[in-house]
Amino acid sequence: MLKNKTALITGGGRGIGHAIACRFAREGCHIIIADLEVKSEKIEALRACGAKPDVHMADLADEEQIVRLFSVIGRLDILVNNAGVYGPVKKIVDMDRAEWDRTFAVNLTSAMLCSREAVKKMMEQRSGSIVNIASNVARRGLPYRGCYVATKWAMLGLTQTLALETATCGIRVNAVLPGPVPTPHLDEVMECHARVEGRNASDVAEDWRLSAPMKRFIDPEEVANVALFLASEQSSAMTGQSLNVTGGFLMT
């Protein structure tokens, strides 16, 4: 489905981003990963899916590193803005400004900057697809997660606005809203919630698992399949859309 295409997946070194990279690779896509860290076994896993990945170590909270990254990559057909952190797990009343700013830099500003650089290339090509990985908390608040929640709501605003600005240029911009996906990110965040709520991490996990009508977590592969659909020509008439992959937790 992605033969002869090139995709940059931010934060593709592990978790959901790595599952997306593997899924795209199996469709014949050339894979570029930008991440703070990529373990050798993750590169091997990509090779096993048929990729010869280009791996770039970069802190995407840093604009200079983003600009440098885009100056060394050539044609780009697909950008997946996936890199993200869960941010401070505390109430707004206790919020720390530096933690807030860092979370916005990684989750939102990096997506804007990568999109800005990608769109310059895609405008020349008159084609491209951008997929933003948001979250089920992009549609409703969550106590102790005000910062993360705000970044993900803002990501939908970014998605819709960029979609409108590029709609006649052959560029499409869409978002995926995953529910809880078992990754290192989720394990850490559930432990933080357990700590601030004075509960066991296993009880928090059980609550979150049961909160969706399907009463289960989401597999990274299930997110990757929807990202593939949005990245590919299968969704050629869709732009500015946000697709929920939440086991029925979100319905609008």
Contact 176, 250 (CB under 8 A): no
Known catalytic membership, residue 86: no
Which is nearer to ligand NAD, 45 or 169 (by Cβ)? 45
Supply the minimum distance, in Å, between the C-beta of residue 70 and ligand NAD: 14
Q: Which stretch binds ligand NAD (CB under 6 A): 91-99, 162-170, 175-183, 233-241?
A: 175-183
Which helix (H) or strand (E) segment holds residue 150: the answer is: helix 146-166
Distance CA 36, CA 181 (A): 21
Q: Which of 3, 44, 93, 184 binds ligand NAD (CB under 6 A)?
A: 184
Q: Which of 8, 17, 66, 212 binds ligand NAD (CB under 6 A)?
A: 17
Q: Which residue matches tokens 């048929």?
A: 50
Token representation of residue 177: 């809203």
Which is nearer to ligand NAD, 171 or 224 (by Cβ)? 224
Supply the minimum distance, in Å, between the C-beta of residue 96 and ligand NAD: 18
Supply the minimum distance, in Å, between the C-beta of residue 76 and ligand NAD: 17
Contact 172, 163 (CB under 8 A): yes
- List the helix and strand counts (H, then E) for the chain: 9, 7
Q: Look at residues 39, 3, 29 and name the one whose alpha carbon lies nearest to residue 224.
A: 29
Residue 83 in contact with ligand NAD, rule: CB under 6 A = yes
Which helix (H) or strand (E) segment holds residue 24: the answer is: helix 15-26
End-to-end CA gap in the chain:
28
Supply the minimum distance, in Å, between the C-beta of residue 83 and ligand NAD: 4
Distance CA 215, CA 181 (A): 13
Q: Which of 183, 232, 239, 244 binds ligand NAD (CB under 6 A)?
A: 183
Site string (134-153) toward ligand NAD, x via CB under 6 A:
-x------------------
> Which sequence positions are flagged as catalytic?
148
What is the binding site for ligand NAD (CB under 6 A)? Answer: 11, 13-17, 35-37, 58-61, 82-85, 106, 133, 135, 178, 180-181, 183-186
